[in-house]
Amino acid sequence: MNIQIKQITNLEDINIKNEPFTIWGKMIPSPKNGHWNYQIEKFKQSSMTCFPDEDYQYDKNTIYLAAYDKNKCIGLAILLKGMFKYLYLDDLKVSSAYRGQGIGSKLIAECMKNAKGEGMQGIYTIAQDNNLSACLFYLKNGFEIGGFNNRDYRGTAQEEKADIYFYKDC
């Protein structure tokens, strides 16, 4: 398989569909002496979920990176430029048939090249604490936990969830 990572030129590719993933546990971060530790709570029963599809509109202040298998878009990373010295990884997804093959890691590596090229400190992203596969993926790819927010979902149907902030420096 010859996967290529490049900036998107075909605007249809910025809206590849989200696909289901397994919820099988929860990451529980805790600060200690200025660093974050974490514990893992495995659920007795796993479940499947899927994020709603987005309707991204092309924006010149956004960096759209994609993974291609020949001409087929099979992965996507969207980086937003903000007022901080980190690019925000707003979305990262890989088609289910291609997961577990290192494509997400290749997208992260290309994100880091873009951050460095933009003169940024690095990139950061947010994952829900119950999306344990995503949390562990970010740690495996050199991110560090940089924060925790258990308030964003209050008053919503997702009230039991919290956000974990992950940072990776260039």
36: nearest Cα among 148, 132, 134? 148
Q: Secondary structure of 7-41 in the HEC alphabet? A: ECCCHHHHHCCCCCEEEEEEEEEEEECCEEEEEEE
Confidence of residue 61 (pLDDT cuts 50, 70, 90): confident
According to the model, what pLDDT value does residue 82 have? 80
> Could you tell me the pTM of the whole model?
0.94
Amino acid at 139: L
Can you give the C-alpha Rg of the chain in angstroms? 16
According to the model, what pLDDT value does residue 15 have? 85
According to the model, what pLDDT value does residue 114 have? 97
Average pLDDT of the chain to the nearest whole number? 94
Contact of 163 with 127, CB cutoff 8 Å: yes
Q: Which domains does the chain have, with CATH numbers?
A: 3-122 (3.40.630.30)
**Could you report how far apart the first and last alpha carbons of the chain are, in Å?**
28
Strands 35-49 vs 21-32: parallel, antiparallel or unpaired: antiparallel
